[in-house]
Amino acid sequence: MDLFTEIQDRLETKKFLKTAQTFHDGYISNGNWFYFNSASFETDDGIIFVKTNYEDIALDMLNGEFSSLQKIAETQTICTPKPYFVIADPNSNGGALIVEYLNMQPVTNWKKLGSNLADLHLFNSVLGRKKLRLESWIGKPLTSQLPENIEFTINKNIKLNIPCDIIEKVDHVEEFGFYSTTCCGKIPQNNEWHDNWIEFYARNRLKQQVDLVIENFGNRKIIEYWSELQLKIDKFFIDVIDNIEPALLHGDLWSGNVTQIVNGDPVIFDPASFYGHSEYELSISKLFGGFSSIFYDEYFNKIPQQKGFKKRSELYTLFHLLNHWNHFGGSYANQSIDLMKKITSYVFNIN
């Protein structure tokens, strides 16, 4: 039995016809093409989207994406394809992720994307406050006693509503990390939980990428700059450390992972989620084409920039450049070294 027969059986559908649309998502890693082959299929219940990969790491990647889509969908703050299941290929180490099919179009509604992404980032914080509010009831309130929504004021102009049924179903997260391994490209991320964001970012994100660069390329400059930077990372967060709460992140939100559907609702896909500092999300959004300024205006209307934002943004950008160096080499080596040198010099000037 092949993988697609397994998928058809799992769906319990007689009709399973590949549509004319085929999608290829691939990149070069150490000289080899690394592919996700994706296609849509007509079934008895409509069209579904199937994303396949046959690399040894495929199931880690697909399961991480499945969990990420699940968690984003739970918030009901921003549109993302509904994940159905992951299935292993019986004839290899590969597998497939089956999700809702969405008719995607280029993004034009940047304002709504900025607003919805801010809501996603605020969700966990607001959820925690609302759970405390419900817990303040004497005894468990009856469903009939609960309002349909509980409103939380973000600032004088912005309010976020979360339906009470979501408050009861979704867990509030108090640490930084994620429930499963997720992959940024083909590199598995260490999502072990930490109660300290600076420690999580330094150890579970930057150090992992630096160690891979040293292992793969043995670059002396990276060793030199990292030995200085790793001891001073906390200084980038002096002004905000008490205000950083775990936010559910997409994790790889560049312009190739955003789109919208026919009704104008923005869609985010191909996530590598974890709970982290909301500012982290924006660093890659400015690379590889970037987002419209309208997006940032709307986002910062809900989550205003904090003191030191620009320097922290460069610290977060360093992760993505190192990640691309580990995947592609080439020009990303110089970009990574130059940025690390620059932000290391910043550290000595922060009081």
Q: What is the mean pLDDT of residues 170-191?
A: 96
> Looking at residue 329, what is its pLDDT?
85
SS3 content of the chain, % helix, strand, coil (to 5): 45, 25, 30
Lowest-pLDDT range of 139-148, 160-169, 272-281: 139-148
Strands (E), the chain: 16-29, 32-43, 46-53, 83-88, 95-100, 149-153, 159-163, 182-184, 187-189, 247-249, 258-260, 266-268, 274-276
State the pLDDT at residue 33: 42
At residue 132 the predicted structure's pLDDT band, cuts being 50, 70 and 90, is confident
Q: Examine the residue annotation and report whether 252 is marked as an active-site residue of this protein.
A: yes
Which two three-digit tokens encode residue 199? 């420690």
325 vs 306: CA distance, rounded Å? 29
Give the number of other CB atoms < 10 A from CB of residue 212: 16
Phi–psi pair at 114, nearest 5 degrees: -60, -45
Q: Mind listing the pLDDT tens digit for each residue in 46-87?
A: 999 999 999 899 999 999 999 999 999 999 999 999 999 999
Residue type at position 17: L
Least Cα distance to 121 among 247, 246, 243 occurs for 247
pLDDT band at 129 (very low <50, low <70, confident <90, very high): confident
Q: Which of 73, 74, 95, 344 is nearest to 223 (CA)?
A: 344
Amino acid, res. 19: T
CA 342 – CA 124 distance, rounded (Å):
33
Report how far residue 184's alpha carbon sits from residue 254's, in angstroms, rounded to the nearest whole number: 12
Predicted confidence band of residue 29 (pLDDT cuts 50, 70, 90): very low
Q: What is the three-class DSSP state of 180?
A: coil
List, in sequence order, every residue forming a beta bridge with 34; answer none if it has no partner. 27
For residues 21 and 331, what is the distance between their CA atoms, to the nearest angstrom?
34
**Helices in 84-150 by DSSP H: which ranges?**
110-135
Q: Would you state the pLDDT for residue 156?
A: 53
Return the exposure string of 14-41: e unless at least 16 CB atoms fall within 10 Å of the residue's CB, then b. eebeeeeeeeeeeeebeeeebebebbbb
pTM over cut 0.75: yes
What Cα–Cα distance (Å) separates residue 32 from each residue in 28, 35, 162, 327? 5, 10, 45, 10
Of the candidates 22, 21, 138, 123, the residue with the CA atom closest to the CA atom of residue 78: 123
For residue 144, pLDDT beyond 70: no
pLDDT at residue number 349: 53
Is residue 183 within 8 Å of 60, Cβ to Cβ? yes
Predicted confidence (pLDDT) at residue 11 exceeds the cutoff of 80: yes
Please state the rounded mean pLDDT for residues 131-158: 55
Neighbours of 182 (CB within 10 A): 24
Per annotation, catalytic residue among 89, 119, 252, 270: 252
Nearest Cα to Cα of residue 81 among 106, 102, 59: 102
Specify the pLDDT at position 158. 63
Q: Which two tokens stand for residue 292?
A: 């419209």
Length of the chain: 351
Average pLDDT over residues 161-180: 90
To the nearest whole number, what is the mean pLDDT of the chain? 88
Give the pLDDT band (50/70/90) at residue 137: low
Cβ-Cβ contacts under 8 Å for 205 (sequence gap 6 or more)? 189, 319
Provide mean pLDDT across the span 95-100.
96
- pLDDT score for 273: 98
Q: What is the pLDDT of residues 145-157, one digit of tens each?
A: 444 454 555 555 5
Structural domains of the chain sorted by starting position, each given as residue range(s) with its CATH number in brackets: 3-100 (3.30.200.20), 104-351 (3.90.1200.10)
pLDDT of amino acid 135:
67
Q: What is the dihedral of CA 247, 248, 251, 256, to 10 degrees?
A: -110
